[in-house]
Structure formats: C-alpha cells, structure tokens
Amino acid sequence: MKLTVITDSNGKVIGTAPQDTAQDQPVVRLVAGAGQKAHEIELPADLTEMESAEDLHAALERHLSE
C-alpha cells in the first residue's frame, strides 16, 4: 500500500494518509506546510498490521531515517 507521510523538521511523523485509488471512495491528500516534508512510500509489509497510530508513527520514523 502506498502511503503519504508528513514529517516535521526533526523527522517526527505528524500525519499519514493512504494513497487509495478505489473508485467511489473519497480522496484525501496531505500537503506539507512550512518546515515539513512529504514522503510518498510503499508501506513495508511488516508495518501493515500495526493497530496503534503511535506505534506506526514511531516505526515510520525509524524507517524514514534509514
């Protein structure tokens, strides 16, 4: 699954949104603000089953820093 991830200037994840292109579904787009950065990534398979947004954000921070 493709995911948009927004990070602040310190690399802390502040938001995520899936890039779902299913028909008849709402489209959500995230836009990075001043001092922020947008990342478009393929969500690693080992992160797809995370239930907590806090845990997902921490794992994404580690993933993006590699």
Q: How many helices (H) and strands (E) does the chain have?
A: 1, 3
Instruction: Classify residue 7 by its DSSP letter.
Output: E
Contacts of 12 (CB under 8 A, 6+ apart): 57, 61
Residue 40 vs residues 24, 56, 61: alpha-carbon distances, Å: 23, 15, 13
pLDDT of residue 23: 76
pLDDT of residue 37: 96
pLDDT of residue 55: 94
Query: In the chain, what are the domain boundaries?
Result: 2-65
CA 62 to CA 66: how far, in whole Å? 7
pLDDT tens per residue across span 2-61: 899 999 999 999 999 988 777 777 777 889 999 999 999 999 898 988 899 999 999 999
